Amino acid sequence: MTSPLHLAAALDGAGWHPAAWRDPAARPGALLTAAYWAELAAEAERGLLDFVTIEDALGPRSPEGRADRVEGTIDAVLLAARLAPVTSHLGLVPTTSTTHTEPFHVSIGIASLDFASKGRAGWRPQISWRAAEAAHFGRRTIPEFNPDRFGTPEGREFAEDLFEEAADAAEVVRRLWDSWDDDAEIRDVATGRFLDRDKLHYIDFEGSRFSVRGPSITPRPPQGQPLVTALAHDVVPYEFAARGADLVYITPHGRAEAETIVGQVLNAESTVGRTGAPLKILADLVVFLDDEPGAAASRKARLDDLDGAPLTSDAQIFTGTPGELADLLLDLHGAGLDGFRLRPGVLPHDLAGIARGLVPELQRRGAFRTAYASTTLRGHFGLPRPEGRYARPADQPADRPADHGPADRAPARR
């Protein structure tokens, strides 16, 4: 018997098909309401999923200017915080851009989410390569770039630069999470000391794009280090994940390709000298699920007709029954995967298909949990709570920074 699967769902608007909002089961009028997202989170938790990811965007979803696709979205970190109090075990993993978002702001946002969820926060850093997105911020210029050019030497250099910046951002975020010792808050009313200032630490990060002094303004998160995840399609992003993530999403199309990519991820870990726990590896699939054979394929075909072209994706596209999907996942699992992040083609229909159809099928085969065994996201993956990197043994004197006036009595801001 192989190890049980990990399952996650990737939530995005009305679903991953660009015409999903036109499906009779969709709810386009509710996409920007808290109730809609709370119902999706409840469905995922009913299915005992490890976590959900929440997509984010800094520009139109249809760069070609189409008006027949969903536009408009809610900030992913704020949305995840809204879902925290209406869930109890489900991990919440919002996406943010490392290209245009200050890592200091990301660190306190995800740390705050971890407090709000009592240890169920994660983060998916993502690069932003479109010129139009850069124009929203006005602090840098990114040239117009066709994604087809990523396979050229110029494209690889462009991608490497963005991922180098992303690696620095992830390192800053992680250092800031550790910049408060776990016992930095004294809360001693008698002496008037709320903080032990010797247990707050400057991170003093210097990089090619930014420098961050720290410490954070938010105490160390309940998990110590919330789960960091990354989507990767090639060697450079595999190495980015190996340097700074706990979990990587890959996009194989079939068992043989899955085995090849798992080997590339392991090579990336060796190349960057990764220490500690190896990356958890989840494969992404876009899924359309119906109990009746052929119904999911027909439903997808109708949406393809409405959109004017067959759906294309970086990930494998599955149409079929929960039993057929279970067969596929268990076969792919044998390639060395830890689990899967499933992208529902239409929400909420295909998420319900995962939670109420696929999960019971996997449970019958002994391949998925029947109850949550942990209340934290790291715990779902068997990852321990790490020690803070700056914490000192009790008998070691503090290497305290020089007095900087008021900052010596409160966390330093960015």
Chain segment 296-342, per-residue pLDDT in tens: 999 999 999 999 999 999 999 999 999 999 999 999 999 999 999 99
Amino acid 351: pLDDT: 98
CB 342 within 8 A of CB 8: yes
Band the pLDDT of 404: cuts 50, 70, 90. very low
Amino acid 249: pLDDT: 98
CB 133 within 8 A of CB 203: no
Give the dihedral sign, CA 148/149/150/152: positive
Band the pLDDT of 411: cuts 50, 70, 90. very low
Please return the burial class of 346, using the count of CB atoms within 10 Å of its CB with bins 0-12, 13-18 and 19+: buried
Gap between the Cα atoms of 11 and 13, Å rounded: 7
Task: State phi, psi for 360 to the nearest 5 degrees.
Answer: -60, -35
* Structure-token match 């999911």, residue found: 296
CB 382 within 8 A of CB 373: no
Helix (H) / strand (E) element for 160: namely: helix 153-177
Per-residue pLDDT tens digits for 23-33: 999 999 999 99
Buried b or exposed e, range 218-234, using 16+ CB within 10 angstroms: bbbbbbbbbbbbbbbbe
Gap between the Cα atoms of 63 and 49, Å rounded: 32
CB 247 within 8 A of CB 229: yes
pLDDT at position 394 over 80: no
Per-residue pLDDT tens digits for 147-192: 776 777 877 788 888 999 999 999 999 999 999 999 999 999 999 9
In sequence order, which residues have a C-beta less than 8 Å from that of residue 135 and are 6 or more positions away?
Answer: none
Residues forming beta bridges with residue 285, ordered by sequence position: 316, 342
Q: How far out from the chain centre does Cα 363 lie? A: 25
Gap between the Cα atoms of 272 and 347, Å rounded: 38
Residues forming beta bridges with residue 229, ordered by sequence position: 247
Going from the N-terminus, what domains does the chain have, and what CATH number goes with each? 6-408 (3.20.20.30)
Gap between the Cα atoms of 146 and 256, Å rounded: 29
Amino acid 57: pLDDT: 80
Task: State phi, psi for 24 to the nearest 5 degrees.
Answer: -60, -25
Tokens read off for 398: 């503090």
Amino acid 58: pLDDT: 76
Task: State phi, psi for 137 to the nearest 5 degrees.
Answer: -105, -30
Per-residue pLDDT tens digits for 41-59: 999 999 999 999 999 987 7
CB 222 within 8 A of CB 115: yes
In sequence order, which residues have a C-beta less than 8 Å from that of residue 15 and are 6 or more positions away?
Answer: 21, 23, 26, 344, 345, 346, 347, 349, 350
